[in-house]
Amino acid sequence: MTAVIALPITTRSLFSYHRCFPIYPLSPVNAFSTATTSFAVSLPNHRPHQTLASVSPNLSTITTSVGPQLSRNVIDILEQRGLIESITSENLRSACSLKGNQSPMKVYCGFDPTAESLHLGNLIGIIVLSWFQRCGHKPVAVLGGATGRVGDPSGKSTERPELDDVTLEKNIDGIKSILNKILSRFGDDNFMILNNYDWWKDVSFLDFLKNVGKFARVGAMMSKESVKKRLESEQGMSFTEFSYQLLQGYDFLHLYKNEGISVQIGGSDQWGNITAGTELIRKILAAEGAYGLTFPLLLKSDGTKFGKSEEGAVWLSPALLSPYKFYQYFFTVPDSDVVRFLKILTFLDIEHIEEIEREMKKPGYVPNSAQRRLAEELTRFVHGEAGLKEAIKATEALRPGAETKLDWKTIEEIAKDVPSCSLAYDDILNLSIVDLSVLSGLLDSKSAVRRMLKQGGLYLNNSRVDSESKSIVADDIVDGKVLLLSAGKKNKMVVRIS
């Protein structure tokens, strides 16, 4: 409040104290009698949409790679796979049909830069965008360079911490890199990434209230589920967070008018924010061609959220979570969830997924085969073919009893995903495997090592150790640099030799 008093509100932008230009009136009737009349915006210019061929010169390649998807309605596909929670109008289905002279749609999903990487909770949004892309439409990712400074209250019990400009820019760059990498696989020019700070930085508070705020009804804003829950909480809700739905609503209006984007998608908790946008478009632009679609949040079969590993969030950035760990996370999905996740999170044909489901019920089914396919498809989608190869190589290298010949580079690569320690060469040479297991921290005591050894679960460089008399010799040290110890399938230790 002090800052608002000290800096005159009529000369400051909503999101920047550096420049201020008035928001152009968005009334469809051009009724302003002030000096800004010449800036009045008419109804949206419905110029022809770009065709898929015009935005991507490699149409034949794309068509071949997607098979029959271009001939199917994306809404039918999403519905069949359980990826639709709600839509604002059934007319969206016919609008998405590319039969006859129907033009492709531009569809956007927003991503607020609350961290330097997207995570598993954002993955469905990217997948739904990709389905629109595969069916001939144009996906648009909108980064919340402006709205990220406010914080979306949806699904949150407390107000988000404020982020400084440096952190926001770092987060935006990280998220943009991930989205570029994933969406460009279908065609470098067949998607857009925008930052809503680009249009918000020049919007003054008074102009926003005059030209947009007067069209918002407080009663409707109060009735949103995200608002009601927060108002009932002990902490309540700040005006800043209360205004978020109006900010996101204006995003949709701006994108509809200036970019020809007519569909906004989001998780089921975004319904209130999305309909705020369709309402503003209807009231201010007197237009009916804006649609909203929500998809279900990613939950396990027991109703709990699916998005955390033992170490925390499942990040999509390889810098925060290696392709190996990402792969392993999906490899351990329970049988009760794997078929549903294959439908929601992959692009495999439904018929193929149903065949996998039948195989799971047959005698002789190899456990985790369905999970392996899920992990492969998702790792390839997020990290590319190279990331998948890295994950499979690390998985094989870390499997006790594997026949894969270990080398120093392979072990060093997986060292970032498992515990490691450094020991001197002279301390290692001729040391018993029992003493080394304790000294390295693999197990807590010699008795624990001996029990593991008797159970057949102690491994040195993936080879089972059969006797506690085993001592380390020079040939055991891989390339003279490292050792890999394993106690069971999951407990591992990389020993670097200094």
The CA-to-CA distance between both ends of the chain, in Å, stands at 58
At how many degrees (to 10) do helices 350-360 and 335-345 cross?
170
Distance CA 259, CA 253 (A): 10
Nearest to 326 by CA among 345, 339, 343, 302: 345
| Residue 349 parent element (H or E) | none
CATH 3.40.50.620 is right for the domain spanning 2-295? yes
Kindly state the helix (H) or strand (E) to which residue 473 belongs, with its residue range: none
Q: How far apart are the C-alpha atoms of 193 and 126, rounded to whole Å?
A: 12
Residue 473 has pLDDT above 60, yes or no: yes
pLDDT at 266: 95
Distance in angstroms (rounded) separating the CA atoms of residues 44 and 467: 79
Give the pLDDT of residue 400: 73
Q: Which CATH architecture has domain 322-397?
A: Orthogonal Bundle (1.10)
CA distances for 256 relative to 105, 218, 289, angstroms: 11, 23, 9
The band of 246, judged by pLDDT with boundaries at 50, 70 and 90, is confident
User: What is the dotted CATH code of the domain comprising 408-497?
Assistant: 3.10.290.10
- Angle at which helix 369-397 crosses helix 120-134, to 10 degrees, equals 110
Nearest CA to 318 out of 100, 68, 117 is that of 117
> Is residue 197 helix, strand or coil?
helix
Better-scored residue on pLDDT, 102 or 358: 358
Write down the mean pLDDT value for the chain: 80
Q: Is the dihedral of CA 50, 55, 57, 59 positive or negative?
A: negative
Q: What is the dihedral of CA 227, 229, 230, 236, to 10 degrees?
A: 120
pLDDT at 65 over 90: no
Q: DSSP characters for 28-73?
A: TT----SGGGGG---S---PPPPPHHHH-TTHHHHHHHHGGGGGS-
Question: Are domains 2-295 and 322-397 of this chain identical in fold?
Answer: no
Q: Tell me what the mean pLDDT of segment 314-324 comes to.
A: 92
List the domain boundaries for the chain: 2-295, 322-397, 408-497
What is the pTM for the complete model shown?
A: 0.76
Higher pLDDT, 311 or 472: 472
pLDDT, tens only, 363-390? 999 999 999 999 999 999 999 999 999 8
Per the listing, tokens 């005591």 go with 445
